[in-house]
Amino acid sequence: MDKTDFTDQLQKLKDGELNELTVQPNDFMVFQEAFMDFDARKRVVGAAQKGGTVVYTFEKDQKE
């Protein structure tokens, strides 16, 4: 995956088209670039899994 792919995935996560986004350890640095440029990154929450995989979800507002 490249930065554009991760940017698209983050937007889908925000829009509710994806429930979660899984990032493998070998893709983390590319993901990090997209993540740092993402406008709603403070609402993206990651949970580390065994083996270095991270599963990200998006926190919705109470109103949403």
Report the pLDDT value the prediction gives residue 9, as an integer from 0 to 100: 98
What pLDDT, in 10s, does the model give residues 13-63? 999 999 999 999 999 999 999 999 999 999 999 999 999 999 999 998 755
Report the pLDDT value the prediction gives residue 63, as an integer from 0 to 100: 59
| Residue type at 16 in one-letter notation | G
Would the pLDDT of 64 be above 60?
no
- Could you tell me how many residues make up the chain? 64
d(CA 60, CA 58): 6
Report the pLDDT value the prediction gives residue 61, as an integer from 0 to 100: 78
Predicted model pTM: 0.90
Report the pLDDT value the prediction gives residue 62, as an integer from 0 to 100: 59
